[in-house]
C-alpha cells in the first residue's frame, strides 16, 4: 500500500509500451514441423526446379506421339517406369514404356497416353486413341525455376508454405522463435479444479485461460498454476523460472487493496503500475524485473482475457515478426444499445454475424462474467468519447477466433 498512485494512460500508449518491452525474439533455424504460424525471416530461394524433371501426369504409356498418330495401333511394351525409378531406359521407336503418375518421362518419349485410351497390356499394348506431342507431360521447372525466390521474408508459414518449403528441399527455415511465456496466477482464494471448494474459495481459471491464449497466439507457455497472496511465495515461484523465459505474465494482485501481491513484489523492482483508460482491464503493470519483461494483468477473469487480447497477444505476435500483429478490425451494426464509461475505451463481449453485418453484446460489462465471455466470438470496441450507443450504430468488432 506504500506504492505511488498509478497514473492513468491511454490504451494505445500502454500497448506501445508492452510491444516495445517484449521486443523481438532472435532468428533461429527451426525444423519445418515447428514453424507453423511463424514468420519467415529471410527470402527462401529454391536450389532446384519444380517439378525437378519432366514427369507423367497420368498412369499410362510413354510413347512418341508420331507412333500413335494412326491409332488404333499396337506397340510392344519395353518395360515399366514406376514413380521413383532413377535408371531410365530410352524409349525406342515404335515401342511403349508403361509409366505411372509422377514417374520421369524417359528420353525419346514426347507424350503419355493415359491407360484409359488403351487395353492396359503389359507385353503389348493396344492404343485406341492418338495424343498430341507433349500430352500429359509435366515439364521440369514449369512450377518453380531454380534460383527463384519461392517465399518472401515476412511470409506467414501456413500449411501450403511449409509444403512448398519441403518440396524445394528445405529441412529448416529461418524464423523468429516463439516467445517463452511464464504464466503465473496469484490469489489465496484459488483452488485447483477437481478438488473440493470451501465457501470463500474459487477455482483457478486465469492460468488455464492465459496459457491457452499464449499457445493460440503461437507462443510457448509455462503454466505455473498459482501462488497465494504472499510476496515470498511469489518471488520463489518467479525467481525459479525467470532465467528460462522471454516474458512473465501474471494475473491478479495489481489493484488498490491490501494483499496486492504482484504489486507489492514488483513495484520499485522495475515494474510500473498504472491505470489504463479502458474497461475492463484498468489496472495494469509492465516493466523489467531482473532484466526479464513482465506484464501484470488484473485478476478479474474478463479483465485478464481482454487485457491479453489488447496488449499481450499483439506483443507476442510482433515478437515473432508478424507485420499485422493485431486482430482484424471489422465493422458491424449493434443489435442493441450499449452504455460505456466516458473517457475509457470499452471492450464488450459480442457475437458477430458477418452475413447480417451485425453484432450482439453478450452479458453485461462486468469483468467477472466468465459465462458470457465463453459465449462470445468477438470484442466490441467502444471509443473513449462515447458513453452511449444505439441499436443500429456502427461499431468496430475484433473477431477472437482462433
Ligand atoms: N478500490 C478499488 N478496488 C478495485 C479497483 C480500483 O480501482 N479500486 N479496481 C477494480 C478492477 S477494475 C479490477 S480489474 C480488479 C483487479 O484486481 P487485482 O488485479 O488486484 O486482482 P485480484 O484482486 O487478485 O482479483 C480480482 C478478482 O478476480 C478473481 N481472480 C483473481 N485471480 C483469479 C484466477 N487466477 N482465476 C479466477 N479468478 C481469479 C478474484 O477472486 C477476484 O474476484 O480490482 C478491482 N478493485
Ligand atoms: O478494469 Mo477491471 O478490469 O474492470 O474489472
Ligand atoms: Mg486485488
Nearest ligand to residue 252 Cα: 1
**Position 308 confidence tier, pLDDT thresholds 50, 70, 90:** very high
Residue in 397, 212, 200, 186 with CA at minimum distance from that of residue 297:
186
Provide, rounded to the nearest whole percent, the portion of the chain with pLDDT above 70. Answer: 98
Per-residue pLDDT, averaged over 87-107, amounts to 98
Ligand 1 in reach of 36 Cβ (< 6 A): no
The atom of ligand 2 lying closest to the CA of 307 is 3
Instruction: Please name the residues in contact with 120: beta carbons below 8 A apart, sequence gap of 6 or more.
Output: none
The atom of ligand 2 lying closest to the CA of 365 is 4
Nearest ligand to residue 301 Cα: 1
Instruction: Please name the residues in contact with 22: beta carbons below 8 A apart, sequence gap of 6 or more.
Output: 179, 246, 247, 293, 295, 315, 316, 318, 319
- For the chain, what is the largest distance between any 2 Cα atoms, rounded to a whole number of angstroms? 98
pLDDT digits (tens, 9 = 90+) for 194-246: 999 999 999 999 999 999 999 999 999 999 989 999 999 999 999 999 999 99
Check pLDDT > 70 for residue 1. no
**Position 61 confidence tier, pLDDT thresholds 50, 70, 90:** very high
pLDDT digits (tens, 9 = 90+) for 269-288: 999 999 999 999 999 999 99
Check pLDDT > 60 for residue 290. yes
Distances (CA, A) of 207 to 106, 147, 287: 61, 48, 20
Distance 367 CA to ligand 3 centre (A): 13
C-alpha 240/C-alpha 32 separation (Å) is: 32
The atom of ligand 2 lying closest to the CA of 283 is 1
pLDDT digits (tens, 9 = 90+) for 62-78: 999 999 999 999 999 99
Ligand 1 in reach of 284 Cβ (< 6 A): no
How is residue 1 written as a grid cell? 500500500
Ligand 1 in reach of 190 Cβ (< 6 A): yes
Residue with CA closest to ligand 2 atom 4: 280
| Domain 8-25+178-319 listed as CATH 2.40.40.20 | no
Distance 136 CA to ligand 1 centre (A): 68
Ligand 1 in reach of 256 Cβ (< 6 A): yes
Contact 58, 100 (CB under 8 A): no
The atom of ligand 1 lying closest to the CA of 279 is 12
Domain span(s) for CATH 2.40.340.10 in the chain = 330-399
Question: What is the best residue among 198, 283, 296, 311 to mutate for testing ligand 1's pocket, by most ligand atoms within 8 Å of CB?
Answer: 283
Q: Is 186 left (phi over 0), alpha (psi -120 to 50) or beta?
A: beta
Domain span(s) for CATH 3.40.980.10 in the chain = 8-25+178-319
H or E element, residue 173: strand 172-176
Question: How far from chain centre, in Å, is Cα 297?
Answer: 23
How is residue 144 written as a grid cell? 518453380
| Domain 55-138 listed as CATH 3.30.460.10 | no
pLDDT of residue 138: 98
The atom of ligand 2 lying closest to the CA of 306 is 3
The atom of ligand 1 lying closest to the CA of 367 is 14
**Position 5 confidence tier, pLDDT thresholds 50, 70, 90:** low
pLDDT digits (tens, 9 = 90+) for 325-363: 999 999 999 999 999 999 999 999 999 999 999 999 999
pLDDT of residue 4: 54
Domain span(s) for CATH 2.170.190.11 in the chain = 55-138
Residue with CA closest to ligand 2 atom 3: 281
The atom of ligand 2 lying closest to the CA of 278 is 1
Check pLDDT > 80 for residue 402. no
pLDDT of residue 401: 85
C-beta pairs of 29-35 under 8 Å, 24+ apart in sequence = 29/172, 29/173, 29/174, 30/172, 30/173, 30/175, 30/177, 31/171, 31/172, 32/162, 32/165, 32/166, 32/170, 32/171, 32/172, 32/173, 35/157, 35/162, 35/165, 35/173, 35/175
How is residue 233 written as a grid cell? 511465495
β-strands 60-63, 96-99: how paired? antiparallel
Contact 271, 287 (CB under 8 A): yes
Nearest ligand to residue 256 Cα: 1
- The ipTM, to two decimals, is 0.98
Q: Quick check: helix, strand or coil at residue 282? A: coil
H or E element, residue 162: helix 159-167
pLDDT digits (tens, 9 = 90+) for 142-197: 999 999 999 999 999 999 999 999 999 999 999 999 999 999 999 999 999 999 99
Distance 375 CA to ligand 2 centre (A): 19
- What residue ranges line ligand 2, CB within 6 angstroms? 279-282, 298, 300, 303, 367
Contact 175, 36 (CB under 8 A): no
Q: What is the pTM of this model?
A: 0.93
Ligand 1 in reach of 391 Cβ (< 6 A): no
Q: Quick check: helix, strand or coil at residue 130? A: coil
Q: Is the peptide bond before 72 cis (omega within 30 degrees of 0)?
A: yes
Question: What is the best residue among 282, 349, 364 to mutate for testing ligand 2's pocket, by most ligand atoms within 8 Å of CB?
Answer: 282
- The CATH code belonging to domain 28-50+142-176 is 3.90.105.10
β-strands 292-297, 247-251: how paired? parallel
User: Domain 330-399 adopts which CATH fold?
Assistant: Beta-clip (2.40.340)
Radius of gyration of the chain (CA): 31
**Position 6 confidence tier, pLDDT thresholds 50, 70, 90:** very low
Mean per-residue pLDDT over the chain, rounded: 96
Domain span(s) for CATH 3.90.105.10 in the chain = 28-50+142-176
Distance 284 CA to ligand 2 centre (A): 10
Amino acid at each position: 500500500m506504500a506504492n505511488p498512485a498509478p497514473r492513468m494512460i491511454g490504451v494505445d500508449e500502454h500497448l506501445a509500451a508492452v510491444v516495445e518491452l517484449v521486443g523481438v525474439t532472435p532468428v533461429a533455424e527451426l525444423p519445418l514441423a515447428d514453424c507453423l504460424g511463424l514468420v519467415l525471416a529471410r527470402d527462401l530461394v529454391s536450389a532446384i526446379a519444380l517439378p525437378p524433371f519432366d514427369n507423367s501426369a497420368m498412369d499410362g504409356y510413354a510413347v512418341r506421339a508420331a507412333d500413335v498418330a494412326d491409332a488404333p495401333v499396337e506397340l510392344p511394351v519395353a518395360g515399366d517406369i514406376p514413380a521413383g525409378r532413377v535408371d531410365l531406359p530410352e524409349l525406342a521407336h515404335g515401342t511403349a514404356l508403361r509409366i505411372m503418375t509422377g514417374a520421369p518421362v524417359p528420353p525419346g518419349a514426347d507424350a503419355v497416353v493415359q491407360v484409359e485410351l488403351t487395353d492396359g497390356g503389359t507385353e503389348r499394348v493396344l492404343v485406341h486413341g492418338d495424343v498430341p506431342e507433349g500430352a500429359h507431360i509435366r515439364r521440369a521447372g514449369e512450377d518453380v525455376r531454380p534460383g527463384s525466390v519461392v517465399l518472401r521474408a515476412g511470409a506467414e508459414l501456413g500449411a501450403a508454405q511449409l509444403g512448398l518449403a519441403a518440396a524445394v528441399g528445405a529441412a529448416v527455415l529461418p524464423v523468429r522463435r516463439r516467445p517463452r511465456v511464464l504464466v503465473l496466477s496469484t490469489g489465496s482464494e484459488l483452488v485447483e479444479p477437481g478438488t473440493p471448494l470451501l465457501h470463500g474459495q474459487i477455482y483457478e481459471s486465469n492460468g488455464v485461460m492465459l496459457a491457452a491464449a499464449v499457445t493460440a497466439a503461437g507462443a510457448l507457455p509455462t503454466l505455473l498454476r498459482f501462488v497465494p497472496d504472499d510476496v515470498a511465495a511469489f518471488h520463489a515461484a518467479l525467481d525459479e523460472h525467470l532465467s528460462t523465459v522471454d516474458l512473465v505474465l501474471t494475473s491478479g494482485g495489481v489493484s488498490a487493496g491490501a494483499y496486492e501481491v504482484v504489486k507489492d513484489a514488483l513495484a520499485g523492482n522495475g515494474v510500473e503500475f498504472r491505470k489504463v483508460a479502458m474497461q475492463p482491464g484498468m489496472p495494469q503493470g509492465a516493466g523489467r524485473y531482473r532484466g526479464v519483461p513482465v506484464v501484470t494483468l488484473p485478476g478479474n477473469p474478463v479483465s485478464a482475457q481482454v487485457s491479453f487480447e489488447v496488449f499481450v497477444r499483439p506483443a507476442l505476435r510482433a515478437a515473432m515478426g508478424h507485420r499485422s500483429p493485431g486482430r482484424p478490425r471489422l465493422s458491424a451494426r449493434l443489435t442493441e444499445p450499449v452504455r460505456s464509461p466516458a473517457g475509457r475505451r470499452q471492450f464488450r463481449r459480442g457475437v458477430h454475424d458477418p452475413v447480417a453485418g451485425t453484432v450482439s453484446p453478450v452479458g453485461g460489462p462486468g469483468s467477472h462474467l466468465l459465462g458470457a465471455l465463453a459465449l462470445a466470438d468477438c470484442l466490441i470496441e467502444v471509443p473513449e468519447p462515447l458513453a452511449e450507443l444505439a441499436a443500429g450504430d456502427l461499431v468496430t468488432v475484433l473477431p477472437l477466433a482462433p
